[in-house]
């Protein structure tokens, strides 16, 4: 094995701590966003947000995840482009990372809906919704007669509400897989996909199909790829400036959204969050590679658990809110105390799920990957 191959393998086994820290912050932002806007402001629970709406920008954690996904995929698999023999390994790695723990959470949620039908939203037992949710591919976006109507929040259904982001992740993985299979075709497919996504910025009313297949959010994947390319090939000369500018842009965009006085469109806010994320990732990764910064252990742990936390937090928030109301704690305890308690419990459960369920699944999947690669190597020789 060559020196560069050894370095590449070492890089893949040891994720950057700043990346894990970013994952942690993004996951917690999304958790805080849903806790404040989807739980505490509901009349049947607390009917007010004890944090005074300061986490209304927390959905931006999703934007960071999209940029980070573009960075990570290119960081790890950029060298696979044009090498179709590596497509199988790429596919298995993406499958192991996304599906096993997701299917487990999805299965538990469907079981709850079966036992307690009142918890479901009506469409959860639609055949197309279940099939799409299992595959993380919006078959309903392809087949439903409502496809070309203006898309609403209920335009494309998924059993696990937060899983809507995973559909876009899988779409990105598929487009990248084309580049691994055949470099020129993949570059053309990626370019056309991103051009369509950019062109959709010009449309005020986007159809459901267009919203899914060509949403401007896909440009965030490209921003992540660009940040990775910058780090790997251009030797970022002022990483502290990049990191500071990215964090400042992200925070200022969030503050402007929270205040609500800005005339900036939602699409432009998405792009600003993406640019801020890309700049901060490029800056912090470069600083870490230079040995000048390292994320603390608690952020690394929360970052490791970020996917589990992301998957389970929405159902758990709803569950704990119902328990607090049933026990009378919603009215007896100070709202801010309830807010902090629920936040802490969900974050702690996310860590537990990662350590005792997701991590063993990943270990088993990695072992399968190693054995599969060895078997394929033996067969080829």
Q: Is the pLDDT of residue 183 over 50?
A: yes
Q: Is the pLDDT of residue 213 over 80?
A: yes
Farthest CA pair distance, the chain: 71
Burial of 340 (0-12, 13-18, 19+ CB in 10 A): middle
**Residue scoring higher pLDDT (34 or 152):** 34
CA distance 115 to 112: 5
Q: Is the pLDDT of residue 134 over 50?
A: yes
What are the tens digits of pLDDT across the range 42-85?
988 998 999 988 999 999 999 999 999 999 999 999 999 999 99
Neighbouring residues of 62: CB distance < 8 A, sequence distance ≥ 6: 26, 30, 165
What are the tens digits of pLDDT across the range 247-278?
999 999 999 988 876 678 888 999 999 999 99
pLDDT tier for residue 209 given thresholds of 50, 70 and 90: low
pLDDT tier for residue 205 given thresholds of 50, 70 and 90: low
What are the tens digits of pLDDT across the range 72-122?
999 999 999 999 999 999 999 999 999 999 999 999 999 998 888 877 777
- Let me know: does 26 contact 64? Beta carbons within 8 Å: yes
Neighbouring residues of 354: CB distance < 8 A, sequence distance ≥ 6: 304, 305, 307, 308, 309
What's the pLDDT at 220?
98
Inter-CA distances, 148 with 34, 155, 193, Å: 29, 10, 19
Burial of 322 (0-12, 13-18, 19+ CB in 10 A): middle
Query: What letter would DSSP give residue 151?
Result: P
Torsion of CA 158, 48, 252, 64, to 10 degrees: -20
Which 3 state secondary structure label does DSSP give 207? Answer: strand
CA distance 355 to 368: 19
pLDDT tier for residue 241 given thresholds of 50, 70 and 90: very high
What's the pLDDT at 85?
93
CA distance 220 to 165: 12
């Amino acid at each position: 094995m060559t020196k560069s191959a050894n370095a590449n393998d070492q890089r893949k086994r040891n994720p950057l701590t700043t990346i894990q820290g970013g994952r942690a912050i993004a996951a917690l932002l999304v958790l805080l966003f849903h806790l404040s806007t989807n739980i505490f402001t509901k009349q049947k629970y607390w009917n007010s947000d004890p944090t005074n709406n300061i986490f209304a920008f927390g959905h931006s954690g999703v934007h960071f995840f999209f940029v980070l996904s573009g960075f990570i995929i290119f960081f790890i698999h950029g060298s696979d482009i044009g090498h179709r023999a590596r497509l199988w390994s790429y596919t298995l790695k993406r499958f192991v990372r996304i599906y096993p723990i997701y299917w487990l959470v999805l299965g538990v949620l469907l079981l709850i809906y079966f036992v307690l039908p009142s918890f479901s939203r009506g469409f959860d037992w639609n055949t197309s919704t279940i099939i799409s949710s299992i595959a993380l591919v919006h078959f309903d976006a392809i087949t439903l007669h409502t496809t070309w109507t203006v898309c609403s929040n209920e335009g494309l259904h998924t059993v696990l509400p937060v899983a809507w982001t995973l559909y876009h992740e899988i779409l990105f993985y598929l487009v990248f897989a084309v580049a691994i299979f055949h470099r020129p075709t993949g570059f053309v497919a990626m370019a056309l996909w991103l051009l369509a996504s950019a062109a959709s910025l010009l449309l005020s009313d986007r159809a459901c199909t267009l919203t899914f297949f060509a949403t401007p959010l896909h440009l965030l994947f490209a921003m992540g790829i660009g940040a990775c390319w910058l780090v790997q090939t251009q030797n970022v000369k002022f990483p502290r400036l990049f990191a500071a500018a990215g964090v400042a842009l992200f925070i200022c965009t969030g503050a402007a959204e929270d205040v609500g006085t800005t005339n900036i469109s939602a699409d432009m806010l998405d792009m600003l969050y993406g640019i801020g994320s890309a700049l901060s990732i490029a800056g912090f990764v470069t600083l870490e590679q230079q040995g000048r910064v390292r994320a603390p252990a608690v952020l690394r742990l929360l970052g490791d658990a970020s996917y589990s936390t992301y998957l389970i937090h929405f159902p758990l928030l709803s569950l704990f809110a119902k328990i607090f109301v049933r026990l009378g704690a919603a009215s007896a305890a100070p709202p801010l105390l309830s807010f902090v308690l629920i936040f802490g419990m969900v974050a702690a459960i996310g860590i537990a799920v990662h350590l005792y369920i997701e991590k063993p699944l990943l270990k088993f999947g990695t072992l399968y990957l190693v054995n599969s690669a060895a078997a394929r190597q033996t067969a080829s020789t």
